[in-house]
Amino acid sequence: MSFCNPEDHRSWDIVKATQYGIVARCKALIEAGYDVRTHDSDNITLLHWAAINNRLELARYYISLGAVVDVLGGDLMATPLHWAIREGHLGMVVLLIQAGADPCLRDAEGCAAIHVAVQCAHTPIVAYLIAKGTDPDLHDANGKTPLMWATWRTFSVDPTRTLLSMYASVNMKDMVQHNTPLHWACMSQNTNVIMLLVQAGADLDAKNDKGETPLDIARIKNVWITSRLQMIRRERGLDTQTNFFQTLVSNKTFRQRTTFVVTFFSMFCVGFILELSTPSWLSKMILCIFCYLLVHGISAFLITQNETMFILPLAISIATKFWVYCTAFFYYWPYIYAPIGVICFFLFSTGMWYFFYKSIKTNPGIITMAEDQKKGAIVHLAETDGLKLGNICSSCLIIKPLRSKHCSVTNRCVAKFDHYCPWVFNTIGAENHPYFIGYLVCLLGILSWHIYAAFQFWQYGTPVSTDLVGFERIWSIMKYSPWVVWIFLNCVFHSTWVCVLLVCQLYQIIWLGVTTNERMNAGRYHHFHTSQHGNLETSPFNRGVVANFADFFQIELCGMLKPLKIDWKSKMEFLPEYKNVTIRKSHDHI
């Protein structure tokens, strides 16, 4: 150790020299006759001390001299492997396993290597042990599986996600209290893992030896978990349905269709009520309030948070398109005199529907890997010192390619991840990003056309006296068809946010050379230069405006431009074309 006076080492005993990694002193004592298999007064061996302090060179040296790899020692009667895992020394774990350590040996508490790794939340070690053949459902002495330990003791999501990705059983019960992992999560109020277990198919009706379900335990412990479990039970139709209405509410397809119907109906109703020929604004207002209460009532009973987050934006998008097109054909069409107006309508309409469909249906670049490939890659990374949570996805357990990210909505790793877009019900990634930009351009085009067409209608289609000027004229035009005003306002609203989104997207793609995720989370990646406040300053992917444009849209312009052709699903390393790169830890050859 650099801070120790070399003179001091000569007086150290071998235990202290091993703890501090003083190889020369240890070798001198061994050569003087110290037996590496000796247990000290606490029943601990030198290999234990080397393991817990991550002294790789000494561990190798002791093993070469015949140190017993699976020796039990210390208060917990644990192996050096247990000790290395407790401290999270993956390199030492690899060394001991390669030297023949048995990961199934249990300590005095009945825990094997994987149970200790899970309790200490050392996820890369959990992944490595399973990749090397440890059963992800291995029981400890009390019949608890690693997943039960993870949901009970570990409040970060990673070990649970990794175990579920490795097919750990989500409904196995321990041997003493007969609790499932979901019972254990409810018991320790581990809110982070509840939804992971539910999505993985946890049985909500499983009973322990006292006859309690996870919900029974949650009711005593935690209001949030109780409400989540109750909501999931409703969604799955698990509660006894006492009437027809409850049966309907529990039907997911019915709820999704209701969301669409309510959205179409709401948009129509506002315009329809405003359009009514009655001159009384009071009666129109009362009708509007009545409609609002009706929609609010239906939504409160039939539309859950899930539909609001994931179905409603798509429903609004399609309902708006539908009513806007109806308005165009019934109101505007006779007043579009200029041929360019007709051409623009068909051009933008065709483009919008084509790109809308492609944005929704195109696989954004989901990264998949066969099971044995995943395990092989994990072992390779662990053995070459590259297995870190930053390099692998703890959900998919794949080696993350450059610029990829796990999409929390679709639960998949996506190449060159940009963002999840609820308006197109899909993640935007390497494969569908150009379609998404095409959609935004055409959407803005067609919305602008509708705004132009509304003005054409007001100019040529409304019989308003030419005597009226100023505000009086505007008011009488608006009164002539309130429906058109309502649709016009919708178009203005949507074109505003589409315009802002498009400008942001083009600025990121062409000017900065980054994705939305990279811009928002630049501080998380080693290869971006950020300001003190974490804002992006330079991107290694920025090759200049023209090249960024060519790269993104893969435009060659008869050989004038030379876009980079990169398969982002497998790209692990920076290219020489990307200059000024502060490269993160390499993880090549996978």
Binding segment for Zn ion (CB under 5 A), chosen from 247-255, 334-342, 412-420, 542-550, is 412-420
Q: Which of 442, 416, 444 is nearest to 428 (CA)?
A: 416
Contact, 534 vs 522, CB < 8 A? Answer: yes
Does position 157 bind Zn ion by CB under 5 A? Answer: no
Binding segment for Zn ion (CB under 5 A), chosen from 69-77, 400-408, 544-552, 570-578, is 400-408
Residue with tokens 């809110």: 191
State which residue, 395 or 490, has the beta carbon closest to Zn ion.
395
Does position 218 bind Zn ion by CB under 5 A? Answer: no
Contact, 559 vs 571, CB < 8 A? Answer: no
State which residue, 413 or 421, has the beta carbon closest to Zn ion.
413
Shortest distance in whole angstroms from residue 400 CB to Zn ion: 8
**Which residues, listed in sequence order, are joined to residue 394 by a DSSP beta bridge?**
none
Does position 413 bind Zn ion by CB under 5 A? Answer: yes
**Amino acid at site 440:** L
Instruction: Count the helix, strand and coil residues of the chain and give each as a percent rounded to the nearest 5.
Output: 55, 5, 40
State which residue, 324 or 414, has the beta carbon closest to Zn ion.
414
Does position 162 bind Zn ion by CB under 5 A? Answer: no
Binding segment for Zn ion (CB under 5 A), chosen from 163-171, 235-243, 388-396, 437-445, is 388-396
Shortest distance in whole angstroms from residue 307 CB to Zn ion: 25
**Residue 132, φ and ψ in degrees, nearest 5:** -85, 0
> Which member of 82, 106, 406, 494 binds Zn ion (CB under 5 A)?
406
Does position 414 bind Zn ion by CB under 5 A? Answer: no
> Which member of 154, 162, 359, 395 binds Zn ion (CB under 5 A)?
395
Shortest distance in whole angstroms from residue 367 CB to Zn ion: 7
Start-to-end CA distance of the chain, whole Å, equals 36
Whole-number Å distance between alpha carbons of 59 and 68: 11
Shortest distance in whole angstroms from residue 395 CB to Zn ion: 4
State which residue, 126 or 270, has the beta carbon closest to Zn ion.
126
Does position 86 bind Zn ion by CB under 5 A? Answer: no
Residue 535 CB burial class (10 angstroms; 0-12, 13-18, ≥19) = exposed
> Which member of 63, 130, 302, 396 binds Zn ion (CB under 5 A)?
396
Whole-number Å distance between alpha carbons of 352 and 367: 28
Q: Which of 488, 515, 498 is nearest to 348 (CA)?
A: 498
**Which residues, listed in sequence order, are joined to residue 413 by a DSSP beta bridge?**
406
Shortest distance in whole angstroms from residue 427 CB to Zn ion: 11
Binding segment for Zn ion (CB under 5 A), chosen from 243-251, 296-304, 398-406, 553-561, is 398-406
Residue with tokens 């919900």: 215
Which residues neighbour 299 within 8 Å (Cβ) at sequence distance 6 or greater?
A: 262
Residues constituting the chain:
590
Buried b (16+ CB within 10 A) or exposed e, 196-227: bbbebebebebbbeeebbbbbbbbeebeebbe
Shortest distance in whole angstroms from residue 555 CB to Zn ion: 31
Size of the site for Zn ion (CB under 5 A): 5
Whole-number Å distance between alpha carbons of 333 and 375: 61
Which residues neighbour 366 within 8 Å (Cβ) at sequence distance 6 or greater?
A: 410, 412, 413, 414, 415, 429
421 is catalytic: yes
Contact, 37 vs 45, CB < 8 A? Answer: yes
Shortest distance in whole angstroms from residue 406 CB to Zn ion: 3
Binding segment for Zn ion (CB under 5 A), chosen from 271-279, 350-358, 393-401, 519-527, is 393-401
State which residue, 159 or 438, has the beta carbon closest to Zn ion.
159
State which residue, 266 or 515, has the beta carbon closest to Zn ion.
515
Contact, 107 vs 74, CB < 8 A? Answer: no
Does position 164 bind Zn ion by CB under 5 A? Answer: no
State which residue, 117 or 413, has the beta carbon closest to Zn ion.
413
Does position 393 bind Zn ion by CB under 5 A? Answer: yes
Number of H helices and number of E strands within the chain? 27, 6
Whole-number Å distance between alpha carbons of 515 and 447: 26
Whole-number Å distance between alpha carbons of 364 and 433: 8
State which residue, 328 or 393, has the beta carbon closest to Zn ion.
393
Pairing of strands 536-538, 419-421: unpaired
Does position 299 bind Zn ion by CB under 5 A? Answer: no
In eight-state DSSP terms, residue 538 is E
Which residue out of 407, 413, 421, 491 is catalytically annotated?
A: 421
State which residue, 164 or 413, has the beta carbon closest to Zn ion.
413
Contact, 218 vs 185, CB < 8 A? Answer: no
DSSP codes of every residue in 175-204 = SSS---HHHHHHHTT-HHHHHHHHHTT--T
In eight-state DSSP terms, residue 515 is -
Active site residue ranges: 421
Chain residues that interact with Zn ion, rule: CB under 5 A: 393, 395-396, 406, 413
